[in-house]
Amino acid sequence: MLNSLTGLGLSDLNPGAWAGSALPASSDVIDVHNPASGALLGRVALADVAQYERVVAEACRVQAEWRMFPAPRRGEIVRQIGDALRAVKVELGELVSLEVGKIRAEGQGEVQESIDIADFSVGLSRQLYGLTMHSERPSHRMYEQWHPLGTIGVITAFNFPNAVWAWNAMLAAVCGDAVVWKPSLKAPLTAIATHVVAEQVLAKHGWSGLFGLVIGRDAGVGETMIRDPRLPLISATGSVRMGRHVGQVVAGRLARSLLELGGNNAIIVEPDADLALATRAIVFAAAGTAGQRCTTLRRIFVHRSISGALIPKLVAAYGQIKVGDPLAEGVLMGPLIDAGAVEAYEHAITTALAQGGELLAGGRRLHGNFVAPTLIRAVRDMAICREETFAPILYVVEYDDLADAIHMQNDVPQGLSSSIFTNSFRSAELFLSAKGSDCGIANVNIGTSGAEIGGAFGGEKETGGGRESGSDSWKAYMRRQTNTLNYGTDLPLAQGIRFDVG
């Protein structure tokens, strides 16, 4: 860890509240442990509400200037933040691995995702397009323009401690917004490093404080943040329980929330699927990141005619997943984040077996926070299959009819990601049609996880409905203004109304 931090120029670990430079620490301190080794990585002093206040006030002050700085020039600064992330990709990726247990390739991949969204945002800074409309009135012109929204509150989860901030912050910055970030208390070191990398670029250009970081507890800082009338948008990633609360509080003050919550992602494997392709996709989607992505594959629906061929392939592949030190060569799966996650894993397996499931692979804790990737043959409508357990547990269900498989796939509270494996045009198009997958993401012949940043990312139902990252997600970070201009000498009213005086 120390190597990573030194490489990042961060030898001096710091208090939890940052607005450009460090603020005085409070006495509320948390220990941060490496989930793989249990080693103490660092201690972080948490911010209290008074420190939160200072960070938000500073962000709002800077945003008042930033909103008038031309968008392409905002993009130029985001470009430099992307370059600064490129320069520390290896170190920052290692820090992600050390702090949350991702394997090396996935830690690096996460930072790459941040670099990609920075690049995307640079281009976007010249493309914040509004429409023009033809007015029904003579000598009138109508158009819409997009203005910065203000200062955005961003709440992130432990599992993407760098990239989810970037999805929000890079877009928000080119849109003319400031960002105040409350990261997970399970991944504060990555947040500090990420914040400092961006802040150094901002400071060089006189924009220090545009991005604020507040590492604090939900009960104090979190509650204050979601109730804060200075924050017109709260973008939150995490559990459905958290998102329901955030959504209700933010709606109560008639502000906007952008929620990216749990998934219960599924793959349907049709009889004509390429099984070698499907096997590889299933294993990465289910066991990658130790099952701790919101896009992790949790259920597969396998056509009965091919389950005898596919299941042994999966069991064999599961046997080859090397679990261990996430930074060691050849390891494909690191640890779960903490003991609570291991408990949830064990509880889900016990429940699944009690509900009629049959263990096909894995099924037990190995040591420490390490668990075996687990495959369970489920019976139809098993209650546990409706829940998201943030662990590498995959339920396998057989089906006879594609429409029924789609029905089962959709018949859960969540709606994030989904895929079908087929070589049939008809099956693929049915899956993608209005009576197909009800998820925000629906793929053909690739897995459920590992989405590219260019698409809008998010899902329906209890997943929260928000869209982050690519496509036109930027619109959530701006306010739309419709403008009607009269360049004539009359005052015709719309809808043909006459209202003449005298």
Smallest CA-to-CA distance from 256 within 200, 172, 316 is with 172
Between residue 396 and residue 425, which ones bind ligand UN1 under the rule CB under 6 A?
A: none
Residue 218: other Cβ atoms inside 10 A: 15
In the complex, minimum distance from the CB of residue 180 to ligand UN1, in angstroms, rounded to a whole number? 20
In the complex, minimum distance from the CB of residue 417 to ligand UN1, in angstroms, rounded to a whole number? 7
Smallest CA-to-CA distance from 394 within 365, 373, 421 is with 373
- At 60, list the tokens: 């709002």
In the complex, minimum distance from the CB of residue 109 to ligand UN1, in angstroms, rounded to a whole number? 8
The smaller minimum CB distance to ligand UN1, of residues 158 and 207, is found at: 158
Show the site string, 75-114: x = touches ligand UN1 by CB under 6 A, - = not.
--------------------------------------x-
In the complex, minimum distance from the CB of residue 150 to ligand UN1, in angstroms, rounded to a whole number? 25
The smaller minimum CB distance to ligand UN1, of residues 160 and 301, is found at: 160
Site size for ligand UN1, by CB under 6 A?
11
Local structure of residue 359 (DSSP, 8 states): E
What is the rounded distance in angstroms from the CA atom of residue 284 to the CA atom of residue 490? 66
Find the part of the chain contacting ligand UN1 (CB under 6 A) among 293-301, 343-351, 366-374, 494-502.
293-301
The smaller minimum CB distance to ligand UN1, of residues 177 and 388, is found at: 388
Q: What stretch of H or E contains 171?
A: helix 163-174
What is the rounded distance in angstroms from the CA atom of residue 138 to the CA atom of residue 148? 31
The smaller minimum CB distance to ligand UN1, of residues 113 and 462, is found at: 113
In the complex, minimum distance from the CB of residue 111 to ligand UN1, in angstroms, rounded to a whole number? 12
Q: Is 51 in the site for ligand UN1 (CB under 6 A)?
A: no
Residue/partner pairs of 452-459 with CB below 8 Å, 24 or more apart: 452/116, 453/113, 453/116, 453/117, 453/120, 453/167, 454/120, 457/167, 457/260, 458/258, 458/259, 458/260, 458/416, 459/260, 459/261, 459/263, 459/414, 459/415, 459/416, 459/417
E-strand ranges in 304-343 read none
In the complex, minimum distance from the CB of residue 371 to ligand UN1, in angstroms, rounded to a whole number? 18
The smaller minimum CB distance to ligand UN1, of residues 314 and 416, is found at: 416
Between residue 436 and residue 465, which ones bind ligand UN1 under the rule CB under 6 A?
A: 449-451
Among 91, 260, 270, 398, the one annotated catalytic: 260
Alpha-carbon dihedral 101, 442, 394, 317, rounded to 10 degrees: -80
What is the rounded distance in angstroms from the CA atom of residue 210 to the CA atom of residue 178? 5
In the complex, minimum distance from the CB of residue 106 to ligand UN1, in angstroms, rounded to a whole number? 10
Between residue 320 and residue 379, which ones bind ligand UN1 under the rule CB under 6 A?
A: none
Among 60, 175, 294, 385, the one annotated catalytic: 294
Residue 452 is among the residues annotated as catalytic for this protein: no
Q: Is 294 in the site for ligand UN1 (CB under 6 A)?
A: yes
| Phi, psi for 282 (deg, rounded to 5) | -65, -45
The smaller minimum CB distance to ligand UN1, of residues 35 and 209, is found at: 35
- At 285, list the tokens: 């989607």
Smallest CA-to-CA distance from 233 within 479, 399, 31 is with 479
Instruction: Output the CA–CA distances (angstroms, integers) from residue 129 to 141, 144, 228, 435, 472, in the order listed.
Output: 17, 9, 29, 32, 10
In the complex, minimum distance from the CB of residue 121 to ligand UN1, in angstroms, rounded to a whole number? 16
Helices 188-204 and 163-174 pack at an angle, to 10 degrees, of 30
Give Cα 401 distance to the centre of its chain: 33
Among all residues, whose Cβ is closest to ligand UN1?
Answer: 451
Show the site string, 204-243: x = touches ligand UN1 by CB under 6 A, - = not.
---------------------------------x------
The smaller minimum CB distance to ligand UN1, of residues 174 and 294, is found at: 294
The smaller minimum CB distance to ligand UN1, of residues 159 and 422, is found at: 159
Q: Can you tell me which of 66, 120, 158, 160 binds ligand UN1, judged by CB under 6 A?
A: 160
Q: Is 1 in the site for ligand UN1 (CB under 6 A)?
A: no
Residue 136 is among the residues annotated as catalytic for this protein: no
Scan for tokens 């969204």, then name that residue: 117
Q: Is 159 in the site for ligand UN1 (CB under 6 A)?
A: yes
Q: Is 293 in the site for ligand UN1 (CB under 6 A)?
A: yes
In the complex, minimum distance from the CB of residue 484 to ligand UN1, in angstroms, rounded to a whole number? 41
Local structure of residue 125 (DSSP, 8 states): T
Q: Is 266 in the site for ligand UN1 (CB under 6 A)?
A: no
Q: Is 295 in the site for ligand UN1 (CB under 6 A)?
A: yes
Instruction: Output the CA–CA distances (angstroms, integers) from residue 191 to 87, 136, 185, 265, in the order listed.
Output: 17, 52, 10, 27
* Catalytic site positions: 260, 294
Residues contributing to the site for ligand UN1 (CB under 6 A) = 113, 159-160, 164, 237, 293-295, 449-451
